[in-house]
Chains A and B, each alone.
Chain A
């Protein structure tokens, strides 16, 4: 009896949560929140989860796409981040959440082409249901999140926002927000700057 009650209550609260999500999008993760793991298809046909990275110390998660000019402006810097930090335990995970009806240029096929043309050394995942983008609270491309892996399955959000202080001109950068955050975490410290905003293209929601 008691068990049935708990079950019913559980189902009801899930329904309520779903309903709330439908009417009002959740604000997503803030600094200090734990990010839930996900499983999304990669351009190589396999699926990728954070838990696949047994030796990772954290992650540089970026919501990005093929089509946004700001995403393109950031692209070479994202590739450079992975080159610099993947071997140190902070790989880049790129996620494309754009709706394909509104933005056909972000299909899996187009993603494969772009990744191979530009030489992506990191996974480039499609978030077809947009559930991961919503969970994170991503609003635009590109939108960066630095996660610190405290333990298996515990991915703490330590930085959100812009890659550096000159999004539209890589030659004019004087502050590297994402690098500084990762460097701090590697030294066992908290990042000094935890949130910085940049311009981006609104995620094309379905």
Chain B
């Protein structure tokens, strides 16, 4: 029931005009699966990051541009920050005027979801999952340069 509520909130958000910085939504992994797997964009891009992760912060703007400038792409930014630091994430998102959807993962043991996102994920971040509208998943446990991200996206959109 609760997850249903979250899902509907996200639906409302996705229909609203994305001008203001996003609110940070707290999610469990199963909520996350429901939303991400139901994506209707040709390519859904899920970037796992944290405010404490320097290489993550560096690549965030590239994901932002993708989300804002390319209609074929939907980006989710999943924060793996410490549970007690939700406020820090909210402040970061508003300071940096992040407009993509930011989800805050609320799970105690990362092992419960890391392997489900990808068997190739050792747990290091940054990490990014690309899902095509045919349900194909591609996972990269690495930081992207802007060019690399663009060419990767083009490859998976074909």
A46-74 contacts to B, CB under 8 A, are 68-69, 73
Q: Would you call A44 an interface residue if the criterion is a C-beta within 8 Å of the partner chain's C-beta atoms? A: no
Residue from B52, B109, B143 within 8 A of A69 (CB atoms) = B52
A68 to B108, CA, bound (A): 19
- The digit string for A147-190, where 1 denotes a CB below 8 A from any CB of B, is 00000000000000110011111001001000000000000000
Instruction: Spot the interface stretch: A80-88, A110-118, A195-203.
Output: A195-203
Complex interface: chain A residues within 8 A of B115 (CB): 197
Of residues A140, A196, A201, which shows the largest number of chain B Cβ atoms within 10 Å of its Cβ?
Answer: A201
Nearest CB to that of B123 among chain A residues? A197
CB distance B124 to A201 under 8 Å?
Answer: yes
**Is A139 positioned at the interface, with any CB of B under 8 Å from its CB?**
yes
- B110:A202 contact, CB within 8 angstroms: no
Decide yes or no: A168 and B124 within 8 Å by CB, A198-B110, A199-B110 being known contacts: no
Q: A197-B122, A200-B122, A202-B55 given. 16 additional CB < 8 A pairs? A: A69-B50, A69-B52, A143-B122, A162-B111, A166-B108, A168-B84, A197-B123, A198-B110, A199-B80, A199-B110, A199-B114, A199-B123, A200-B123, A200-B124, A201-B125, A202-B125
For the residues of B in contact with A, the DSSP-based class is loop
CB proximity of A203 to chain B, nearest CB, Å: 7
**What residues of B have a CB within 8 angstroms of the CB of A73 in the complex?**
82
User: Chain A's nearest CB lies how many Å from the CB of B10?
Assistant: 23
B108 to chain A, nearest CB (A): 5
Q: Is there a chain A Cβ closer than 8 Å to B121's Cβ?
A: yes
Contact B123 A198 (CB under 8 A): yes
A205 CA to B80 CA, complexed, in Å: 22
Closest 6 CB pairs of A and B: A140-B124, A165-B109, A69-B52, A202-B124, A139-B122, A197-B114
A/B interface sample: 22 pairs, CB < 8 A: A69-B50, A69-B52, A69-B82, A140-B124, A162-B109, A162-B110, A167-B109, A168-B82, A169-B83, A169-B84, A175-B109, A196-B111, A197-B111, A197-B115, A197-B121, A197-B123, A198-B114, A199-B50, A199-B125, A201-B124, A201-B125, A202-B55
Binding site for A on B (CB under 8 A): 50, 52-53, 55, 80, 82-84, 108-111, 114-115, 121-126, 141-143
Category for how many chain A residues contact B: 20 to 34
Consensus secondary structure, chain A interface: loop
Residue of A69, A143, A166, A202 ringed by the most chain B CB atoms within 10 A: A202
Chain B hits for A202, CB < 8 A: 55, 124-126, 141-143
Nearest neighbor of A172 in chain B, beta-carbon distance: B108
The smallest beta-carbon distance between A64 and chain B, in angstroms, is: 13
Q: Would you call A197 and B110 a contact (CB within 8 A)?
A: yes
CB-CB < 8 A to B114: which residues of A?
A: 197-199
- List of B residues within 8 angstroms of A203 by Cβ: 124
Q: Give Cα A187–Cα B110 distance, bound, in whole angstroms.
A: 29
A196 and B50 CA atoms in complex are apart in Å by: 21
A201 to chain B, nearest CB (A): 6
Q: From residue A29, how far is it (CB to closest CB) to chain B in Å?
A: 13
Known: A139-B141, A203-B124. A161 touches B82 (CB 8 A): no
Chain A residues, Cβ within 8 Å of B125: 199-202
